Structure 1
């Protein structure tokens, strides 16, 4: 009787869709509700992930997560709740990425890399020092902000060498700089990035 009532009265508000889905587990209802907010979810994902394909994948992954989560939680305001779910999902993805970046940085402090660099091995360690989840978004925003104020040559070399894990030769090939320039931009870029991040650390 309860299920028939929802069938006769097609949900119109978010709250009605949530109640109907929680009562029936009907994925069509959840799909219709999610479709209303897909642009919001994509916008949140793109804000944090900065990649179109990754953001699209995240939108699909989040729907699969909702299939379970929405039946487990009492949700009063679906739009704001969904925004938080999407945000937290992206932050966890970025946390995983930060671990990979840290491992890349540490790997690239082997002697064959250190031979050409004057900076200490922890020159970029400030990026990953604080693993407290409450500070994660702040740290990521701080790093992005400092990267954005670097000279474009330094910023590009930092992104290619550390974030995309390219070799010196690959960076030189993609940027058109010679190896000496690449190493100089990396050294100065790391120094400037470290100074900026320490300056804005609070």
Structure 2
């Protein structure tokens, strides 16, 4: 399925198509939209890129299972909450407990999530998406290929004809610039 062909379809419509057909390809398109954003969330909590990448995959697996059981209205916020809770649980397992301030804010069930918090999280996701579009073309290309399309450094070199050093530099600088752009956008809010 050509994901670019469905770029204009919003999350709700993709979810509707999934619920109608039970075809996981519709979910795949949704997951592709949010891979980089989830990686950022997982990196924020876990501070380890390899562990964060692993968490993103586990979050997607959990999301697939959950979406087959019940319908979700606000996909982006729901997915963010799953990722956040997964990271917090991993931190708890690693440290033996969740830090008190994080534990107090951990929603137990989807019904307990406050709407204002969801709006703020959606705003963060939107700002990350906008910031990605503001990166220079080299950084945007490398960051997208590496995080969203899961390409290795060598695959990116082969695809773009950049050198390995350029690819690593574009990814590193792209991540840094993405963070700065998002922080700048959040300060305006």
User: Shorter-chain TM-score category?
Assistant: 0.3 to 0.5
Choose between structure 1 and 2 for higher RCO, CA contacts under 8 A separated by at least 6 residues.
2
More helix by share: 2
If you compute each CA radius of gyration, which structure gives the higher value, 1 or 2? 1
| TM-score for the superposition, normalised by structure 2 | 0.47
| TM-score for the superposition, normalised by structure 1 | 0.45
